[in-house]
Structure formats: structure tokens, C-alpha cells
Chains A and B, each alone.
Chain A
Amino acid sequence: ETAVFQTPNYHVTQVGNEVSFNCKQTLGHDTMYWYKQDSKKLLKIMFSYNNKQLIVNETVPRRFSPQSSDKAHLNLRIKSVEPEDSAVYLCASSSLRGNQDTQYFGPGTRLLVL
């Protein structure tokens, strides 16, 4: 049963455009994440938020910016996309009670930059 929702499923755009992806979780978790899964299926953390506060910010280009309105929502904006941004962007959530907590993933947003 899906509890982490992402929109859109798929987005095609051109270099230089701005895109925005949405993520919502209905699990009552207080921590949310954005991961990037590239064409080789490598999965890397980009950002994580705990109760609307940024707690992890990996080395990603400045054109990427996360936005959180409340602990159930975490959006991702890319200001001026580049070809290497083509990937699947996965949102996840967990309860930050300890290092054992499971992260639940959404279905992903597939971005194709032409």
C-alpha cells in the first residue's frame, strides 16, 4: 500500500528550464529524504529534512533546492536543469527515532532533460 506519494511520475524538459517535484507522506513520519537514482542505478542521498529543518545536505549543485512546508511534504526544485540531471528522483520518509528505522520510498519521478 503506497504511503509516500510523488508527482509527477515522469517529466520531460529542455536544458535550462526550471522543474519542481512534489512529495507527500501519510505515515506520520518526521523525516523526509530526496535521493537520486542515476542511469546506472546508483542511489545517492541528496537532502533530508527533520520537522521542516534541513539536516543533511550532500554535495549537490546549487540549482537543486528542497522545500518543506510541513513535516509531511518535501518538494524538490531544480532551477536550471542540465542533461546530467536526467535520473529518477526518489522521495523517502522515516521516523528519526534511531539508526534502525526503515525508510519508505515513493515510486519516483523520472526526469528526462533533452
Chain B
Amino acid sequence: GDSVTQTEGLVTLTEGLPVMLNCTYQSTYSPFLFWYVQHLNEAPKLLLKSFTDNKRPEHQGFHATLHKSSSSFHLQKSSAQLSDSALYYCARNSGGSNAKLTFGKGTKLSVKS
């Protein structure tokens, strides 16, 4: 079925090191992929989403590339900051007319000094 997999539950990094959070998906067609970020006691908000024209979306230093061959949409950043500590969800749209989002289990990123 259609699903999203985030393999890491917790990623702990030292400030300044690169970030990579994994996301793979199963789909019977080409989906749209999203990364949402949720800081402590706040609402989830969109970080970035895939484009139809294979452009690489970027926001706040984060970027992700949709690789259809490997069904992946990994989130990357060259240098982690303390303020990046948050819960990150990868999500995909189910397609059709209902625009339902299916979320991965989430990866908690903890950046330490």
C-alpha cells in the first residue's frame, strides 16, 4: 500500500555537523512529498515540498531531492544549528480528490553544542 517510512526515531548531532534524515515511500504512482517540522509545543508547519519539474526545494538551509528510482526524499542540511532541534515528519499526498496526507513516524532531531 501507500506508505512513508522514516527509519530513524532519534538523531543526535553536534552543532555544525551535516544533517540527513531519511524518508522513503511506497506508491503506485508519482506522489508529492513533503517535510513538516514541529518544534516543541508548536504546530507542525511545512518545511519544504517536492516539485513536479524536478527542481530541488530548499528552505532555511534544508533541501531534499525526490529520487523516484529509489523512492526517497531525504532531508539534508550542510550544517546543523541548535534551533534545528525539532520533530521532522516526512509526508506524502495520497492523490485523487481528497488530498489526504500520510505521515511517517517522525524523526526527532536533537542538536547539541
Contact = CB atoms under 8 A, between A and B. Distances in A.
A and B interact: yes
Nearest to A91: B43
Q: Is the interface of B mostly helix, strand, loop or mixed?
A: loop
A15 B92 CA distance: 35
Contact of B44 (A44, A55, A105): A105
Interface residues of A, number: 26
Given A41-B87, A99-B31, A107 B42 contact: yes
A43 B34 CA distance: 14
B103 A99 contact: no
A43 B97 contact: no
Contacts of B102: 45
A56 interface: yes
Contacts of A55: 97-98
B99 A105 contact: no
Interface string A48-60: 1010000110000
Contact of B105 (A42, A99, A104): A42
Contact of A101 (B87, B89, B99): B99
15 contacts: A4-B43, A40-B105, A41-B87, A42-B105, A43-B89, A43-B106, A55-B97, A56-B98, A56-B100, A96-B99, A99-B93, A104-B45, A105-B44, A105-B45, A107-B42
Interface of A: 4, 31, 40-45, 48, 50, 55-56, 90, 94, 96, 98-108
Interface of B: 31-32, 34, 42-46, 49, 52, 87, 89, 93, 95, 97-103, 105-106, 108
